[in-house]
Structures are given as structure tokens and as C-alpha cells.
Amino acid sequence: MSTQVKIYKTAADLFHHSADKIASLVNEYVQSTGKCSFVLSGSSTPKNLYKILGNKSFQKNINWSNVYFFWGDERCVPPDNNLSNYKMAYDSFLSKIDIDETNIFRILAEKPHPKAAKDYENRLRKFFHNVKFPTFDVVLLGLGTDGHTASLFQGSAVLKEKKKWVVDNYVEKINSWRITMTLPVLNQAKNIVFLVSGKEKANAVKSVIKDKDKSIPASLIEPKDGNLIWCLDRDAAALIK
Ligand code: 6PG
């Protein structure tokens, strides 16, 4: 595993430089293998990144038609719900680019959560021809103020999952069910990019990057044969400089 920590002066710099980095990774795989599997993250931080990636002026840099989109996690809501990670990515990004809907692997989170998880794993197994664990080319992750990532929360049994690719996970602290990729899947990735902005994340960033606190789920993201790239703004990096 190689780790890089990139710190940008402002949030705007963070999103623009991260968009360039994502574009260059996607192009690298499209040019070398003919396609790129790109796992999107959710909630609010990536929205500004997605807007840049979906911007017409940016599209000259990238041929999206050979990119396959997945989600690292999803809330158990329908795709038209404002809490949906799919909806956020579709509205800010995927609806703006020339992409066939068969390239978009939405988690069917409107289904009962056990079925939604099983269905997603089955579709991933079909796409990756049922290998032991899939190797995604690019995985984008966010970081919660408590150090969770995807829907892997502290103390959750899901953190110990060694076989399944996707699980449904009841998250006590938010009283909600989530669907999430598991650590063995995420840690099989070729590139994991954490996108973290804002001073409210500084403690979590310190716990992971400086303290290497293994009780924090994001500390367990260690792509064994891949690159781990932290993209932070100065506020988020305030306690590690
Ligand atoms: C989710 C995300 C989650 C998110 C962090 C950061 O579905 O909530 O996958 O892991 O990345 O909670 O969220 P913000 O970007 O809103 O701070």
C-alpha cells in the first residue's frame, strides 16, 4: 500500500485538484484496460467534486462512456429521496454526462434491506465474474466526524465481515439501515481516494492519519496492493500538519 496526503489551501482548491486526480486515474484505466470501475461516495462533501466532473468544460478531459459507476454505500431510501446517495450523484454529475444507464450500478435501496444487499452483491459478482473479491479501479470515500467511512461505523459487526461483498447494516447512532461495501472489498481496490473538507473533520483526520487509531473505521481502509490518497483542505488537515 502506498499512501499520499495532499493538502489544499481552500475547499475550492480541494475539489478542483481532486477532480483532476480522479480524471487522470479514470483515464489511466480506460486507456490501459478499456474501462474503469469507479465507486462513488455519498452524503454532502463529494457534491462539489461531482459538479466539476459533470461540467461540460471538464468533460473534454475524459471519456465517460467506458466508466462503470458503483456506490460504496447507500441509505435505505428510494432513488428519488433527498437522502439518496444515488440521487445526489445523479443530479450533480451522472445526469450531466454522456453515459449509458447500463454503466450505472445503482444500489436498489428501495427494496427490503437484506434483499437490496444481496441483489447488489449478485450484480457485482456478475460484473466481476465471481472472483473472491472484486478489484475496483477507483474508490471515492468520505469521512464522518466520528471516523466512519462508507457505512462502516465504529463498533459495528460489519467491520469483521470477511466473506460478503455487500451487507445491510443497522446503524444504532443514526437509527437507520444502510447498505455498504465491506472492508475486504474496499481494501482490494487499486486506488482509494478520501475526500475530506472542513474543520469539523480535523479530529477524525488526526485519529486516522496521525494517531492510526484502529478503533476508527476509516483507519481500517488499507488497500493492500493499492494506493491510498487523502485529499484534504487545510481545515480538515489542521491537526496533522
Ligand atoms: C454516507 C457516506 C458517509 C459520508 C460521511 C461524510 O452515506 O453518509 O457514505 O460515509 O461519506 O458521513 O459525510 P459528509 O460528506 O456529509 O460530511
pTM of the model: 0.98
* Spatial distance between the Cα atoms of 205 and 212, rounded to a whole number of angstroms: 10
pLDDT tens digits for 9-23? 999 999 999 999 999
Nearest atom in ligand 1 to the alpha carbon of residue 152 is 10
Residues of the chain with pLDDT under 50: none
Q: In angstroms, rounded to a whole number, what is the distance separating the alpha carbons of residues 176 and 153?
A: 12
**Dist CA 204 CA 209 (whole Å):** 9
134 Cβ below 6 A of ligand 1: no
Residue 72 grid coordinates: 460504496
Closest residue (by CA) to atom 11 of ligand 1? Answer: 142
Question: What confidence score (pLDDT) does residue 71 get?
Answer: 99
Q: What is the pLDDT of residue 57?
A: 82
| pLDDT, position 45 | 98
Q: Is 85 in the pocket of ligand 1 (CB under 6 A)?
A: yes
CA of 85 to the centre of ligand 1 (A): 9
Largest CA distance in the chain: 44
Regarding the beta carbon of 169 and ligand 1, being less than 6 Å apart is answered: no
State the Cα–Cα distance between residues 222 and 194, nearest whole angstrom.
12
Probe residue for ligand 1, chosen from 15, 140, 143 as the CB with the greatest number of ligand atoms within 8 Å: 143
Beta partners for 75? 178
The rounded Å distance from CA 150 to ligand 1 centre is 7
Q: What is the pLDDT of residue 5?
A: 98
Q: In this predicted structure, what is the pLDDT of residue 96?
A: 95
- CA dist 127 and 67 (Å) reads 13
| Closest to 103 (Cα-Cα) out of 57, 36, 53 | 36
Whether 44 is in the pocket of ligand 1, judged by its Cβ within 6 Å, is yes
The predicted structure's pLDDT at residue 25: 96
